[in-house]
Amino acid sequence: MINNPPSLLSLGMAGLFPLYHYLTSEGEKHLQAGSDGKMHVSFNGIFTPPEEAAVYAVQHAKDKNAPLYFVVFPQADSAISELLVAGYQKFMENNFWGLTNSTQEAKDIMSRYGNTGLHFDAHSRGSLTGFNMMNSFKQEGVNDVAGNTTISFHGPAANVLAASGLLGYVSGGKQTTIGFDGHRYDFVSRWIGGNGYTYETIPAGSNVLTEWWRVIMNPISSHTCLGDASDKCTWRYGLSHREQFPLSKSRSKK
């Protein structure tokens, strides 16, 4: 098992910058629900330190006034190691080879709150944490742990349709769709995750190669400008658009 000690953090809001603090093990047992009656927890992506994970947790949340929590997947000590960890999550993480500590933390959270009220937001590599968490339950034959759980993926490295199938299984058929927010020119979501897209606005004069380069090198890109993003994001890419997947049969699918 990859040893990456997770930390469940709580966010408060002060002006435009989120303040966060680590929860104790006792505090993790008593998360506060939002106005919808659900605990709101997010999973961060690759190369994301805690302060950036906090920003994404707020950016992707529908209700920014709700108590927001996020499980930090600690950064590895080098870029190569970070990519290797992401590759492990994508291709090998399961009950046989071992779960990362963050995925185990996600399982613990779902076991505690999945039937009473829980919402997960996951960005980029964080979607693999959510995906592998549900797959682990399925490997164990657990199909009654997510009856009141909703999930949204933002620029996911996991496949949304496969994840929706897992959610259907672990919820006993009570939840069958996952919220999906993905850009046409985000190669993480399109090619690594194998997903469609929900919007495709790019700056005038840009092209697919330019946008792929921005995903790698630029903090303002089709991969980061999802949810309620900054003015720079909306100027460049417009408003992102989240939809429930699979789409209903009455709607067209990209």
The residue type found at 5 is P
Give the pair of three-digit tokens for residue 209: 């190669």
**pLDDT reported for residue 74:** 82
Structurally, at CATH architecture level, domain 7-200 sits in 3-Layer(aba) Sandwich (3.40)
**pLDDT reported for residue 6:** 67
**pLDDT reported for residue 27:** 84
The alpha carbon torsion through 164, 70, 240, 204 (nearest 10 deg) reads -120
Given 3-state DSSP classes, what are the helix, strand and coil percentages for the chain, each rounded to the nearest 5? Answer: 35, 20, 45
Q: What is the pTM of this model?
A: 0.92
**pLDDT reported for residue 2:** 41
**pLDDT reported for residue 3:** 44
**pLDDT reported for residue 8:** 74
**pLDDT reported for residue 21:** 81
**pLDDT reported for residue 4:** 56
Report domain extents, the chain. 7-200
**pLDDT reported for residue 76:** 85
**pLDDT reported for residue 5:** 57
Q: How far apart are CA 46 and CA 123, in angstroms?
A: 9
**pLDDT reported for residue 13:** 44
Per-residue pLDDT of the chain (254 residues; tens, 9 = 90+): 344 556 677 755 434 455 678 888 888 889 999 999 999 999 999 999 988 999 999 999 999 889 999 998 888 889 999 999 999 999 999 999 999 999 999 999 999 999 999 999 999 999 999 999 999 999 999 999 999 999 999 999 999 999 999 999 999 999 999 999 999 999 999 999 999 999 999 999 999 999 999 999 999 999 999 999 999 999 999 999 999 999 755 454 44
Q: Starting from the edge strand earliest in sequence, which strands make up the sheet with 39-43, in order?
A: 17-22, 7-14, 68-72, 39-43, 118-123, 149-154, 178-181, 243-245
